[in-house]
Structure formats: structure tokens, C-alpha cells
Amino acid sequence: GENVEQHPSTLSVQEGDSAVIKCTYSDSASNYFPWYKQELGKRPQLIIDIRSNVGEKKDQRIAVTLNKTAKHFSLHITETQPEDSAVYFCAAGYSTLTFGKGTMLLVSP
């Protein structure tokens, strides 16, 4: 089955800095790669996703890149704000998803 590794497990940045979270996956059949944001006590919510026929996707301050050859994908958040503080999960798959263990992002004012 699919195996997703996510790094780092925690990330502290200053407001305005950029944050990068990286994930690797094992199953070359995976073709859908979403990123979820989960605030404390809340449900995971999709923030951006990318499919295997696309190498990069951007939505305002967040972007995701995908390297299918190397089987890794990354989340980039620019101009971070305190409200970006949360746990971020990457996932890989198609109909079913395998999630990474999460990255706790802390943005300090």
C-alpha cells in the first residue's frame, strides 16, 4: 500500500517568513495529492490539491509542487500570518488517501 512521509513534524517561523513542508510517497499509482489544514479541535479542511498531470499549482499565498519522478511534493506558504498556525497534513492516493503524520506550524507575531 501507499506510504507517505512528511517533514518536518514541527516548524516555527516569524510572521512574514515563508514555510515549506515536504512529503514523499511510495506508490507510483497515486495521482492525487491534497493538503489539509487542521486547527485545534477542528476538522481537516482542504487548502490546496494537485494532480499528477500538473507540476505546480498556486492559490494566493500557498503553492504546491509535485515531482512524480522523485515521488515527492511540497507545500509552500509565503508571507505567513499568525492565523496560519495549525497542523498541516499531506496525503496521496486516488479514491482512498494515505495521510502523512502532520506538521505543526507555529507563526509568531
Partner 1 sequence: DAGVIQSPRHEVTEMGQEVTLRCKPISGHNSLFWYRQTMMRGLELLIYFNNNVPIDDSGMPEDRFSAKMPNASFSTLKIQPSEPRDSAVYFCASSLIGGPLDNNEQFFGPGTRLTVL
Tell me which of 35, 89, 92, 105 binds partner 1, using CB under 8 A. 89
Residue 32 contacts partner 1 per CB under 8 A: yes
Residue 95 contacts partner 1 per CB under 8 A: yes
Nearest CA to 49 among 41, 40, 61, 57?
57
Tell me which of 49, 72, 78, 104 binds partner 1, using CB under 8 A. 49
In this structure, are strands 10-14 and 103-108 parallel, antiparallel, or unpaired? parallel
- Whether the link from the prior residue into 8 is cis, omega within 30° of 0, is yes
Tell me which of 3, 10, 28, 96 binds partner 1, using CB under 8 A. 96
d(CA 69, CA 17): 29
Residue 45 contacts partner 1 per CB under 8 A: yes
Indicate the residue type of 72.
Answer: H
User: Which stretch, 13-21, 56-64, 69-77, 93-101, contacts partner 1 (CB under 8 A)?
Assistant: 93-101
